[in-house]
């Protein structure tokens, strides 16, 4: 089974660390995991490479200023869409807020069999909730499974 995981970055955080462990376990069970990181930097990049997992860097530059950030997010979205077209996974699984939105949108456009997203949401942050809460709610509404 082909699975693409989508995450914001590979910094040493809780979701990121759990994802690396999940990929390691799936590789042992003959799954074909791929990892799409919108910002492909972080301490866990080396560990992910050691698992011989395909890693796709989305090109998002989160600290590059407003206009460039929006531009690189759009490029990241297009790269995710292209990657999913080329790899044709059975499952796509997004982790964390803005990635959930991209994952659901791409997954539904491409009619991927199963679209999964994480429950941790933008709404846990009051400022972002006021700006992006509706978008996050939208992504949860159109996902197949929220984990």
Output the pTM of the full model: 0.88
Question: CA 124, 42, 15 angle in degrees (round to 5)?
Answer: 35
Residue 37: CATH number of its domain: 3.40.50.2000
Q: Are 10 and 43 in contact (CB under 8 A)?
A: yes
Q: Please say if the pLDDT value at position 61 is more than 80.
A: yes
What are the φ/ψ torsions at residue 34 (nearest 5 degrees)? -125, 150
| Structure confidence at residue 97 (pLDDT) | 76
Q: Please say if the pLDDT value at position 126 is more than 70.
A: no
Q: Are 34 and 87 in contact (CB under 8 A)?
A: yes
Mean pLDDT for the stretch of residues 78-105: 93
| Structure confidence at residue 92 (pLDDT) | 97
| Structure confidence at residue 142 (pLDDT) | 81
Note the pLDDT tens digit of each residue in 17-48. 999 999 999 988 989 999 999 998 889 999 99
Residues near 106 by Cβ (< 8 Å), separated by ≥ 6?
Answer: 77, 80, 81, 84, 92, 112
The tally of domains found in the chain comes to: 1
| Structure confidence at residue 123 (pLDDT) | 53
Range of the domain at 85: 2-146
At 83, the pLDDT band (50, 70, 90 cuts) reads very high
Mean pLDDT for all residues in the chain: 87
């Amino acid at each position: 089974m082909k699975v693409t995981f989508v995450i914001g970055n590979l910094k040493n955080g809780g979701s990121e660390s759990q994802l690396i462990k999940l990929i390691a376990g799936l590789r042992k069970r003959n799954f074909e995991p791929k990892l799409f990181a919108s910002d492909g930097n972080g301490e866990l990049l080396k560990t992910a490479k050691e698992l011989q997992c395909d890693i796709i860097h989305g090109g998002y530059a989160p600290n590059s200023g407003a206009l460039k950030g929006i531009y690189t997010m759009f490029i990241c979205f297009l790269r995710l869409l292209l990657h999913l077209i080329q790899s044709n996974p059975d499952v796509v699984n997004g982790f964390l807020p803005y990635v959930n939105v991209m994952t659901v949108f791409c997954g539904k456009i491409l009619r991927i069999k199963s679209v999964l997203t994480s429950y941790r949401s933008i709404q846990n942050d009051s400022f972002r909730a006021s700006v992006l809460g509706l978008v996050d709610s939208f992504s949860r509404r159109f996902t197949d499974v929220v984990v």
